[in-house]
Amino acid sequence: MDLPTIWFVLVALLLIGYAVLDGFDLGAGILHLLVARDDAERRAVIASIAPVWDGNEVWLITAGGALFAAFPLVYATVFSGFYLALILVLLGLIFRAISLEVRDKDDSAGWRRTWDVLFSVSSLVPSLLFGVAVGNVLQGLPLEADGTYRGGLLGLLGPLPLLTGVLALAMFVMQGGAWLALKTEGEVRRRARVAAAAGAAAFAGVWLLVTIAALAVPDPRDLALGPVGLAAPLVVAAALAAFFWAVSRGRDGTAFAASSLAIAGLLAIAALALYPDVLPATDAARSLTVENAASSELTLRTMLVVALVGMPLVLFYTLFVYARFRGRVSAGGAAY
């Protein structure tokens, strides 16, 4: 495996890690007003993600840094062409952080209700836009000869990207519900199980619709044949089946693991369908691939050494935090 391909895999793994980890706290935010009916229950939802949400977002920052180092042309095209969409994502993530930090700084019901609503909205918008971005990448962008995209935000909102946006919402609702069922008690836990099952059902249905819609796209990115390419969809289907089995029997840990595997499998399908493109164009001759968009061999080799040192530290920190804050939170617990 050559260096550009290694970095393609590393970036894909970082994005999968982000989708699995930040996916559950985005999902918890989307479900915040649905599974929690009073102030104590909403504090429990927030407390379930409070120790880990900011660490989860490190995976997105690391993926962005890896993309910049390994495929600078792709980074430049995406961050310039998707500028307004990325600003909306950034604003959503900022307001999520503010909502978590200031919600309990005042005891008035209006103050807390305002930040509760902002927390849910600022979780929903980035989730939708992440899916829209993936949909645009999968169908290919109308890149110009110099590699730029000038379609603007409205140009990104085609049928397939919007459908993948809905798929991302369903995926994060499933993951967030599974997390809340694992971490909370009582009525919040019961409602979270219902929401997780509904999210998984929507995930399965929209995944089928996305697959059908993708076949109608001119020059679609077909899934690579071979053992891995054939196995990835089977992994997602098996994970969803395991998820429904676990939810029906109240096995919250198994349900969360199955949900995480389904997300990882789905993004693996996307990565396999893209390769060797990193950012495909509707005109295949203008696509940015692992070869024509990669940094120099010296840069890739140097950054690989850094990654081999840094990634174990990130994994150790992540495992330590999750182990330290394991267990359920109660509705009567302390505020974040």
Tell me how many domains the chain contains: 1
Task: Compute the chain's Rg from CA coordinates.
Answer: 20
For the cut 60, the answer to whether the pLDDT of residue 46 exceeds it is: yes
Beta-carbon count within 10 A of 304 CB:
16
Beta-bridge partner residues of 281: 141
Residue 301 lies inside a defined structural domain of this protein:
yes
pLDDT digits (tens, 9 = 90+) for 65-84: 999 999 999 999 988 888 88
- Summarize pLDDT for 168-209 with one digit per residue, the tens: 999 999 999 999 999 999 999 999 999 999 999 999 999 999
The confidence score (pLDDT) of residue 79 equals 86
Alpha helices in the chain (DSSP H): 3-35, 39-49, 53-70, 72-81, 83-102, 109-139, 159-183, 186-215, 227-248, 252-274, 297-324
| 228 found inside a domain | yes
Task: Please give the Cα distance from 19 to 210 (Å, whole number).
Answer: 18
144 DSSP assignment: -
pTM exceeds 0.85, yes or no: yes
The answer to whether position 179 is within a domain reads: yes
- Say which CATH number the domain at 12 has: 1.20.1630.10
Kindly state whether residue 24 falls inside one of the protein's structural domains: yes
- Residue 29 tokens read as 């935010």
8-state DSSP, 104: G
Q: What does the chain come to in residues? A: 336
Mean pLDDT of 241-261: 96
Cα–Cα distance, 288 to 311 (Å, whole number): 26
Percent of the chain scored above 70 by pLDDT? 94
Cis peptide before 276 (omega within 30 of 0): yes
In a domain, residue 313? The reply is: yes
Residue 296 counted as domain residue: yes
pLDDT above 60 for 222 = no
Q: Can you give the residue range of the structural domain that contains 217?
A: 3-322
In a domain, 120, yes or no: yes
Residue 141 lies in a domain: yes
Assess contact for 34 and 199: CB atoms under 8 A.
Answer: no
